Amino acid sequence: MTVSSCWNPTRPGRIPIVLVHGTASSPVRWAEMLNEFQSDPIIRARYQFWFFIYSTGNPVLYSASLLREALRDTISELDPEGDDNALRRMVVIGHSQGGLLTKLQVISSEARFWDNISDRSFEGLEIDPETRETLGKALFFERQEFIERVIFISTPHRGSFLADSRLGSFASRLVKTPTDLLGQAVDLARAGVDLVESAVERGRGFFDIFARRDESAQLERRLQRLPSSVDNMKSDHPFTITLQAIPVDAHVHAHSIIPVLGGPPAEGQNDGVVEYSSAHINEAASEFIVYQSGHSAQSHPDTIQEARRILLEHLDAR
């Protein structure tokens, strides 16, 4: 597994725009938008551009925890004294799965994701400290206060009908479980956490467990595959149901850019991957529909123009 953060050279006093790509994608997909932004004298003078690169088959919660740590570490490294206020006016733009990673940076999940796994208190578990740290990072999220605004593009807040299909199930089986997460699952089972019954009762949660607890060798085989990002984007998956019920923090300005394949109205349509009804969220300060566009709308001229409008609005907010 290779997960890394790749940042353009930092520019003190300029607001970071963090671009988070979607499933089976890369920062290359942002090329048209980035070129347009860099050719705009106002945006070029006030913003800097960062990219987050991640393995898009991993569980969404895990990838989101890596994004959170990368942002925190970068800000701490660039501005250890906290003098650069621009770094704390961050705008994050997420496409598709990247939008889910983005949302997880601006919510307060409390114990809701853990509650999908077990009825036992996370704080009271007697588990290895490394397991506790990894799971704590991947299952508990708080709003990152340095993020002031987020833009969701083609984001499946209520799941993707493509992930629900046979094609989605096939793609999910091709994903290899990150070794460290497999170790955490085995460690929890050995610690006696009643994951099996609760997982069956609640449907597949963070740990995809269907069998009874047994000896460690059997456990490792049965815990062979954690839910992939494709599983996490199924409409009936506990992760999807839980995340959609948690609103973006009221202190964060959220915007939605939603493509659909046809003309108006958008209701009842989709972009080939995500239904309009899944991409729509009530807490969005603005919602812009890109008509006659497929799922990869981040390069569409209307998408770029709307994102530019939002960035200029962000400059005027203070």
Was domain 4-108+143-175+230-316 assigned CATH 3.40.50.1820? yes
Confidence of residue 180 (pLDDT cuts 50, 70, 90): low
Mean pLDDT of the chain: 80
**Type and span of the H or E element at 54:** none
50-60 average pLDDT score:
86
Confidence of residue 304 (pLDDT cuts 50, 70, 90): very high
160-165 average pLDDT score:
60
Query: Is the pLDDT confidence value at 71 over 90?
Result: yes
pLDDT of residue 238: 84
CA dihedral 7, 150, 288, 314 (to 10 degrees): -90
pLDDT 10s digits, 184-242: 444 444 444 444 344 434 444 444 333 333 334 443 443 344 455 556 667 778 888 99
Task: Give the residue with greater pLDDT, 177 vs 72.
Answer: 72
The type of residue at 262 is G
Helix (H, G, I), strand (E, B) or coil at 49: strand
pLDDT of residue 318: 67
Task: Give the residue with greater pLDDT, 71 vs 132.
Answer: 71
> What pTM, to 2 d.p., does this model score?
0.81
Tokens matching residue 282: 């009530």
Confidence of residue 30 (pLDDT cuts 50, 70, 90): very high
Query: Is the pLDDT confidence value at 64 over 60?
Result: yes
CA distance 70 to 174: 27
166-174 average pLDDT score:
40
Helix (H, G, I), strand (E, B) or coil at 280: coil
Number of residues in the chain: 318
pLDDT 10s digits, 116-158: 877 778 888 777 787 788 788 888 999 999 999 999 999 999 9
Residues 6+ apart with CB under 8 A from 225: 173, 175, 177, 208
pLDDT of residue 165: 41
CA distance 138 to 178: 13
- When mean pLDDT is compared across 39-43, 202-206, 210-214, 305-309, the lowest value belongs to 210-214
- When mean pLDDT is compared across 98-102, 113-117, 202-206, the lowest value belongs to 202-206
pLDDT of residue 125: 75
Picking from 139, 131, 110, 242, the residue whose alpha carbon sits closest to that of residue 189 is 131
Helix (H, G, I), strand (E, B) or coil at 308: helix
Residue with tokens 């995500």, as numbered in its chain: 274
The type of residue at 211 is A
| CB 37 within 8 Å of CB 89 | no
* DSSP β-ladder status, 90-95 and 47-53: unpaired
The residue ranges of every structural domain in the chain are 4-108+143-175+230-316, 120-139+180-227
Tokens matching residue 125: 């578990």
Q: Distance of alpha carbon 70 from its chain centroid, rounded?
A: 13
Confidence of residue 55 (pLDDT cuts 50, 70, 90): confident
- When mean pLDDT is compared across 18-22, 103-107, 200-204, 224-228, the lowest value belongs to 200-204
Query: Is the pLDDT confidence value at 306 over 80?
Result: yes
Query: Is the pLDDT confidence value at 272 over 80?
Result: yes
Concatenated DSSP letters of 77-121: HH-TT---GGGGSEEEEEETHHHHHHHTTS---TTHHHHTT-SS-
Query: Is the pLDDT confidence value at 36 over 50?
Result: yes
Residues 6+ apart with CB under 8 A from 206: 59, 61, 113, 116, 117, 138, 139, 226, 227, 239
CA distances from 312 to 25, 180, 224, 250 (A): 27, 42, 48, 21
